[in-house]
């Protein structure tokens, strides 16, 4: 590997020398296979497992779509190293739970009108099978953002409606507001993702018959009944201003309870833990006025994503005909927007723990589990730190911090843009500061909120029809595999 660092002239000389030596001694080069090398042995054992992985081609009883909002491939790599280092290892060799899923493809995430996508358009692509514009939910590309009148006739049927028609139970779980773009795509049609409560709708939109997203959640029926389980943040979008919420029309938690007298509404961790799943017909939980807390900041008043996942699967598994469930880790994205890699990595590990819980609770012969991201972020990994270097730390070498051409140290993780950018001369990051909870990684372009990236994201899958994830695919293809799996 050292030859990569040689200057071109030295590299040429080296290559010529090698050629010359080989030409004079043609018969002495006879290596034996390195079967005792631990890397070789590990490769062989992975190969054996892969050769025994037969495609499962029977229909799926259940589908769980895991969405790590903003979980770029670089986020996965950094989270893997972070987790390995927390376990006391060098980190690079660690494997996240999601990385054990056998079938993998890459997803092209652009929206019909944007090279760099937003979460409403990407979630819509995944659940409806068609790409659409940024900022719109549950509708095709004919809809103009913000224009209620353009929705009629352009609604797109979702995998959730298809599942409900087959008698399957429905579930949605998110650490973001339940009315936020990704979870909202499971139940709402909206010309604008920001129409989360009644005060956000324009008068003309109300006159044209548009309802806000929270209202659409409570109204969601289509003749099959609504969601059997919905857990997330965003209480304020469902409650009145007089109760600390945002609404001026009516309290939607009360309306939901009236519509589902057998259902249970909960708003804290203890109440969720008290739920007797076998006795509960439906479950609606809203933990926190807005988004739920980052995993790094979460106290016991809120459940973890893994705990919500466990409850959701327990509820849905009671249905004889199976279920369709989306689970979103909504705040990886928010931590990246804030330019704060540590919280993004912590939330990625909480997401991975939820995936582990789902894998443990389901049978791969009957449940299709898909793990993907809706879009990437501009998180960058800079070389050349040695093996085992703290993933949040300064890039080091044997003499101490590696110095950039400005004579200053730098971190392995930086962002392409965001609040960590500095106008003028770059500050010298210190070893203590860069591992702090609130440290903002340095960035090139100053922006108050770091942006999404249009880089492809991963799709990892196991279970029935998971083998259909192959190659580099358009994001809306995810729907088509789910739809095929439910046939
Ligand atoms: Zn975002």
Query: Could you tell me which of 132, 74, 70 has the C-alpha nearest to residue 449?
Result: 70
DSSP symbol at 15: H
CA distances from 48 to 1, 32, 102, 365, 372 (A): 28, 22, 13, 20, 26
Distance from the alpha carbon of residue 334 to the mean position of ligand 1, in angstroms: 6
Res. 222 pLDDT band, cuts 50 70 90: confident
CA of 63 to the centre of ligand 1 (A): 25
Tell me the domain boundaries of the chain.
63-378+451-485
Three-class secondary structure assignment of 38-66: HHHHHHHHHHHHHHCCCCCCCCCCEEEEE
Count Cβ atoms within 10 A of the Cβ of residue 227 and give its class: 0-12 exposed, 13-18 middle, 19 or more buried.
buried
Query: Is-contact 103 460, C-beta < 8 A?
Result: yes
The alpha carbon of 118 and the centre of ligand 1 are apart by a number of angstroms equal to 7
Q: How far is the CA of 166 from the centre of ligand 1 (A)?
A: 33
Separation of CA 398 and ligand 1 centre (Å): 38
Q: Please give the distance, rounded to the nearest whole angstrom, from the Cα atom of residue 77 to the centre of ligand 1.
A: 19
| Pair type for strands 396-397 and 400-401 | antiparallel
What does the pLDDT read at residue 469?
Answer: 98
User: Which candidate, 82, 149, 150, 140, places its Cα nearest to that of 113?
Assistant: 140
Residue 6 has pLDDT above 50, yes or no: no
pLDDT digits (tens, 9 = 90+) for 119-132: 999 999 999 999 99
Contact 395, 385 (CB under 8 A): yes
pLDDT at 15: 44
**Ligand 1 centroid distance, CA of 333 (Å):** 5
Q: What predicted TM-score, i.e. pTM, was given to this entire model?
A: 0.93
Residue 143 has pLDDT above 90, yes or no: yes
Q: Has residue 34 got a pLDDT over 50? A: yes
Over residues 304-321, the mean pLDDT reads 98
- Whole-number Å distance, alpha carbon 74 to ligand 1 midpoint, is 16
The predicted pLDDT at position 386 comes to 95
Q: Which fold has domain 63-378+451-485?
A: Alkaline Phosphatase, subunit A (3.40.720)
Q: What angle do CA 300, 306, 310 make, to 5 degrees?
A: 110
**Residue 386: CA atoms inside 13 Å, Cβ hemisphere, count?**
8
pLDDT over 60 at 22, yes or no: no
pLDDT confidence of 140, banded at 50, 70, 90? Answer: very high
State the pLDDT confidence band at 8, using cuts at 50, 70 and 90: very low
Residue 225 banded pLDDT, cuts 50, 70, 90: confident
* pLDDT for residue 16 is more than 60: no
Query: Per-residue pLDDT averaged across 38-58, rounded?
Result: 96
Which position has the higher pLDDT, 24 or 484? 484
Concatenate the DSSP letters of all residues of 384-453 into one string: -PPTT--TTSB-EETTEEPB-TTS-B-BSEEEEEETTB-SSSPP---HHHHTSTTPPPPEEEE-SSPPEE
**384 cis-preceded (ω within 30 degrees of 0):** yes
The CA 138 to ligand 1 mean position distance, Å, reads 18
How much of the chain, in percent, has pLDDT values that exceed 70? 94
Distance CA 340, CA 450 (A): 10
What proportion of the chain, given as a percentage, has pLDDT over 90?
91
Distance 374 CA to ligand 1 centre (A): 9
pLDDT value, residue 50: 95
Strands 229-233 and 169-177: parallel
Cα–Cα distance measured from residue 237 to residue 251, given in angstroms and rounded to the nearest whole number: 9
pLDDT digits over 71-117, tens only? 999 999 999 999 999 999 999 999 999 999 999 999 999 999 999 99
The C-alpha R_g of the chain, in whole angstroms, comes to 25
Average pLDDT, the chain: 94
- Residue 40: how many other CB atoms lie within 10 Å: 11
Distance 45 CA to ligand 1 centre (A): 39
pLDDT greater than 50 at residue 3:
no
Spatial CB neighbours of 201, under 8 Å, sequence gap ≥ 6 = 195, 210, 211, 212
| Distance from the alpha carbon of residue 453 to the mean position of ligand 1, in angstroms | 10
Q: Which residue numbers are catalytic?
A: 119
- DSSP state letter for 226: -
Q: What is the distance in A from the centroid of ligand 1 to the CA of 292?
A: 15
pLDDT value of residue 221: 86
| CA 447–ligand 1 middle distance (angstroms) | 14
Q: What is the pLDDT of residues 232-281, one digit of tens each?
A: 999 999 999 999 999 999 999 999 999 999 999 999 999 999 999 999 99
Tell me how far CA of residue 89 lies from CA of 94, 229, 263, 398, in angstroms. Answer: 8, 39, 46, 19
Query: d(Cα 232, Cα 312) in Å, to the nearest integer?
Result: 11
pLDDT at 2: 36
Q: Which residue has the tokens 């909480």?
A: 350
Question: What pLDDT does residue 25 have?
Answer: 62
Q: Do residues 480 and 456 lie in contact, with contact meaning Cβ atoms separated by under 8 Å?
A: no
Segment 288-292 mean pLDDT: 97
pLDDT band at 24, cuts 50/70/90?
low
Asked if residue 23 has pLDDT above 70, the reply is no
């Amino acid at each position: 590997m050292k030859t990569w660092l040689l200057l071109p002239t030295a590299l040429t000389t080296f290559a010529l020398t090698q050629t010359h030596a080989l030409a004079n001694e043609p018969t002495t080069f006879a290596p034996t296979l390195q079967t005792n090398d631990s890397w070789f042995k590990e490769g062989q054992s992975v190969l054996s497992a892969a050769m025994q992985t037969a495609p499962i081609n029977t229909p799926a009883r259940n589908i769980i779509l895991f969405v790590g909002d903003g979980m770029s491939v670089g986020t996965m790599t950094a989270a893997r190293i972070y987790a390995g280092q927390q376990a006391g290892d060098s980190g690079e060799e660690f494997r996240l739970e999601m990385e054990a899923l056998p079938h993998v493809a890459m997803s092209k995430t652009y929206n019909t009108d944007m090279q760099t996508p937003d979460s409403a358009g990407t979630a819509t692509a995944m659940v409806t099978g068609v790409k659409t514009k940024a900022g719109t939910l549950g509708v095709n590309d004919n809809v103009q953002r913000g224009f209620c009148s353009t929705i009629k006739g352009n609604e797109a049927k979702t995998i959730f409606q298809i599942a409900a028609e087959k008698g399957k139970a429905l579930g949605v779980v998110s650490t973001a507001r339940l009315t936020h773009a990704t979870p909202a795509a499971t139940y709402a049609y909206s010309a604008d993702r920001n129409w989360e409560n009644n005060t956000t709708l324009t008068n003309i939109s109300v006159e044209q018959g548009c309802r806000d997203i929270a209202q659409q959640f409570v109204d969601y029926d289509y003749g099959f009944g609504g969601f059997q389980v919905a857990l997330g943040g965003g209480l304020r979008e469902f409650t009145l201003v007089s109760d600390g919420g945002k609404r001026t029309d009516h309290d939607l938690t009360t309306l939901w309870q009236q519509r589902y007298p057998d259902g249970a509404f909960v708003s804290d961790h203890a109440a969720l833990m008290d739920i007797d799943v076998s006795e509960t017909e439906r479950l609606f939980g809203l933990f926190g006025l807005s988004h739920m807390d980052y995993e790094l900041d979460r106290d016991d008043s809120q459940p973890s994503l893994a705990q919500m996942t466990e409850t959701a699967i327990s509820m849905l598994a009671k249905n004889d005909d199976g279920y369709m469930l989306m689970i979103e880790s909504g705040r990886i994205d928010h931590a990246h927007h804030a330019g704060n890699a540590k919280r993004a990595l912590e939330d990625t590990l909480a997401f991975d723990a939820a995936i582990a819980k789902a894998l443990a609770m389901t049978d791969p012969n009957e449940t299709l589990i898909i793990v993907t991201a809706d879009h990437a972020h501009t998180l960058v990994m800079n070389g050349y730190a040695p093996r085992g270097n703290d993933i949040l730390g300064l890039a080091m070498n044997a003499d101490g911090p590696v110095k950039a051409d400005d004579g200053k140290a730098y971190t392995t993780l930086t962002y392409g843009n965001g609040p960590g950018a500095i106008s003028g001369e770059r500050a010298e990051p210190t070893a203590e500061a860069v591992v702090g909870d609130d440290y903002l990684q340095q960035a090139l372009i100053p922006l108050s909120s770091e942006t999404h990236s249009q880089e492809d994201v991963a799709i990892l899958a196991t279970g029935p029809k998971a083998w259909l994830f192959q190659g580099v695919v358009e994001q809306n293809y995810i729907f088509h595999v789910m739809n095929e799996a439910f046939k």
